[in-house]
Amino acid sequence: GLPAEMELKENSVVEFTAPNGGTFAGFLRELDATHALFDFNHPMAGKTIRFEVKIIGIM
């Protein structure tokens, strides 16, 4: 469960501590009295990304 003192707001990012001591963030999508729905996908997931590159050499 989540700590009782943790203040949660929908549409905000919440940081979690992993068992190995690392951290990761989740986006709080929905919150009610008994449930919280977090989205751990990267913010760019599902988006089209376009890159412009310049080839500077071939090995």
Question: Which CATH number fits the domain that encloses residue 24?
Answer: 2.40.10.330
Which parts of the chain have pLDDT scores under 70?
Answer: 1-3
**Structural domains in the chain (count):** 1
- In a domain, residue 2? The reply is no
> Which domain range does residue 46 map to?
8-54
Q: What is the DSSP letter of 17?
A: E
Q: Are 2 and 8 in contact (CB under 8 A)?
A: yes
Is 10 strand, coil or helix? coil
- In a domain, residue 1? The reply is no
- In a domain, residue 16? The reply is yes
pLDDT at 7: 84
- Beta pairing partners, 51: none
User: Considering the entire predicted model, what is its pTM?
Assistant: 0.65
- In a domain, residue 29? The reply is yes
Q: Is 5 left (phi over 0), alpha (psi -120 to 50) or beta?
A: alpha
Query: Model confidence over 43-56: pLDDT tens digits?
Result: 899 999 999 999 99
Q: HSE on the CB side for 25, CA within 13 Å?
A: 7
